[in-house]
Amino acid sequence: MKLGRIEKWFMNRPKHARRIISRVERLLPFADLEEAQEFLEVGCGSGAVCRHMAKRHGLNVTGTDVDGEQIERARTDIDNTANLRFLEADATNLPFRDKDFDIVLSFQVMHHISNWLDAFQEIRRVLRTKGYFICVDTVFPKWTARIGEMFKHRYGITTPSALESFVQRNDFSTIHSALSKYLVFNQYEAVYRSK
């Protein structure tokens, strides 16, 4: 699902980009990061995290987003970085071969995708054996998820138990996970490794 104008304004602010980069940097020590690894960000928006990963860590970075306007915005700020590319692509149908990436990042994207499990399957498909999947997203307690079911045609209503079930069925090991609880929804972060 493409973001609305107000959401894009919020997501494209430099302050927001700095917060995301800071949080991703806190999760990177859980992954074996090496220069020239293949890195994919699903739902990259304006590309701030991708640019950071390419420049700071020397990774070969690909950013995808379903919103062509966001991809065009990301492409204008590449600054001739050879190890960075942006593609318009749907997370549920990624245009890559199986096992193309060492690390896949999804930051606050899945709750925008009604069929988020299909997106997770695609991430699993393009992730190499012993690759890392870094995920940060909104998840819902059972009572909120029941209410959210009315909107599941438009939003991804993810619960911690549904995530855990996906991880177990798809041969991931959990390297790190944390759940921050709030009244209506929770914030979940995890680093998984494919087997």
| CATH code: domain of residue 134 | 3.40.50.150
Alpha helices for the chain (secondary structure H): 5-11, 14-27, 48-57, 68-76, 116-126, 142-148, 160-169
How does the average pLDDT of the chain come out, rounded? 87
The model's pLDDT over 101-146, given as tens digits with 9 standing for 90+, comes to 999 999 998 867 878 889 999 999 999 999 999 999 887 766 454 5
The model's pLDDT over 47-96, given as tens digits with 9 standing for 90+, comes to 999 999 999 999 999 999 999 999 999 999 777 788 999 999 999 999 99
pLDDT at residue 10, rounded to an integer: 63
Domain that holds residue 184: 5-194
Alpha helices for 80-195 (secondary structure H): 116-126, 142-148, 160-169
Domains of the chain: total: 1
pLDDT at residue 3, rounded to an integer: 66
> Please, which residues have CB within 8 angstroms of residue 86's CB and are 6 or more apart in sequence?
44, 47, 50, 62, 63, 64, 65, 71, 74, 75, 78
Mean pLDDT for the stretch of residues 12-20: 88
pLDDT at residue 141, rounded to an integer: 63
pLDDT at residue 183, rounded to an integer: 63
Give CA torsion, residues 175, 58, 135, 78, to 10 deg.
Answer: 180
